[in-house]
Amino acid sequence: MSDFAARWSGALLDTYPAPPVELVSGAGATVTDADGNTYIDMLAGIAVNALGHGHPAVVEAVSSQISTLGHVSNLFGSRPVVELAEALRARVGDETARVFFSNSGAEANEAAFKLARLTGRRRILAAERGFHGRTMGALALTGQPDKQAAFEPLPAGVEYYPYGDVEALRELVLEDPDDTAAIILEPIQGETGVIPAPEGFLPAVRELCDANGILLIADEVQTGVGRTGDFFAFQHDGILPDVITMAKGLGGGLPIGATIARGAAAGLFSPGSHGTTFGGNPVACAAAGAVLGTIDGEFLAEVRRKGRLLMDEASHLPGVASVRGRGLMVGVVLDAPVAKLVVKHGLERGIIVNAPADDVIRLTPPLVISDDEIRAAVARLSEAIADAKEGS
């Protein structure tokens, strides 16, 4: 164990393993460790650094804001907060939309959970193997018993349906439609292995919700902010949820979450019913404003193009069974359960990737990654897969 890893283990709670390297700087899609080694960052802090490391728009926005006003609490207002809320409302495309700012995706989903409770109905339907966070309410929505068991009892009222199976979901709704408050889903299940919803599933869920007065909550924490080539992943399916949760890429590296409610859902909260001290922090909101100001239609078209390039390049690698995903949210399915070894060997080859499943490598690079970096990353990934299969 390195000295840094030992210091880490001695000072931090054991929620994560000691890190294999100490990163000290980054530029675009490249990061550098304390020993001067460089890596192509194909994870972007798990889809957080949407504009890469050190993007000038984010640096300028944060530097300017922190030098003038850093924090005001939720007792006062500041311009970056309202400007960001207005920009998000415009991205949703519904003038009834209103925003609550928090600090993470889990908090954004906690707010959505509370909105569902305020309908007066008790049931919330969540997808099996979905992931919505690790706080208690968000964990209750997360359909992964292995993550839940140690923390039970969890908040009651959540039931689970097979992701992508609209008939099973319809049967579950019809068991008690008048007491079903919300259906929550991810357009692409990221933490399970980058699994997109089947074609037609989201429109069918929207129709089911409309027919029964149920809120449709779209968890866009990982898929939002241009990650899939549309600003929101649900836009690919031509639907509009009642509640949208966001975080990760929104702040361009700074912690910020957002819960957006529209229509009747926008009127469920009242003063004092929810809050958070750091939510709507001016510096984080300024960073998010810079991100939104950069991600325009041309930018999104480039994400779609680069996503096609990445998926095509990865699909031809030896040891790869299939490639799935959308835009720059890609799951590389291996033909053997060696994904964790690929992550290890990837670091040795100068590439940062992630293994959400034993046979899946997740690629969520900065959206600003270049074509040359994509090709170089895929070449290094190929070497890491070969190394892993030799050592498995």
* Residues that are catalytic: 131, 219, 248
The verdict on whether residue 142 carries a ligand-binding annotation is: no
At 188, which helix (H) or strand (E)? strand 188-189
Sheet architecture: strand order including 360-363: 320-326, 329-334, 360-363, 354-357
The verdict on whether residue 99 carries a ligand-binding annotation is: no
End-to-end CA distance of the chain: 22
The verdict on whether residue 221 carries a ligand-binding annotation is: yes
**Non-local CB neighbours of 111 within 8 Å, separated by 6+ positions:** 100, 102, 245, 259, 274
Structure tokens at 340: 């964790």
CB atoms within 10 A of CB 67: 9
The verdict on whether residue 156 carries a ligand-binding annotation is: no
Distances (CA, A) of 237 to 85, 206, 229, 321: 24, 10, 13, 26
Q: Are 46 and 247 contacting, i.e. CB atoms less than 8 angstroms apart?
A: no
The verdict on whether residue 245 carries a ligand-binding annotation is: no
Which of 177, 378, 138 lies closest to 259 in space, CA to CA? 138
Distances (CA, A) of 98 to 45, 90, 139, 262: 28, 10, 25, 6
The verdict on whether residue 299 carries a ligand-binding annotation is: no
The verdict on whether residue 106 carries a ligand-binding annotation is: yes
Q: Are 339 and 358 contacting, i.e. CB atoms less than 8 angstroms apart?
A: yes
Buried b (16+ CB within 10 A) or exposed e, 77-107: ebebbebbbebbbebbeeeebbbbbbbbbbb
The verdict on whether residue 134 carries a ligand-binding annotation is: yes
Please give the annotated binding residues for pyridoxal 5'-phosphate, written as ranges: 105-106, 131, 219-222, 277
- Going by the annotation, the residues of the binding site are 105-106, 131, 134, 219-222, 276-277
Which residues fall in the annotated binding site for N(2)-acetyl-L-ornithine? 134, 276
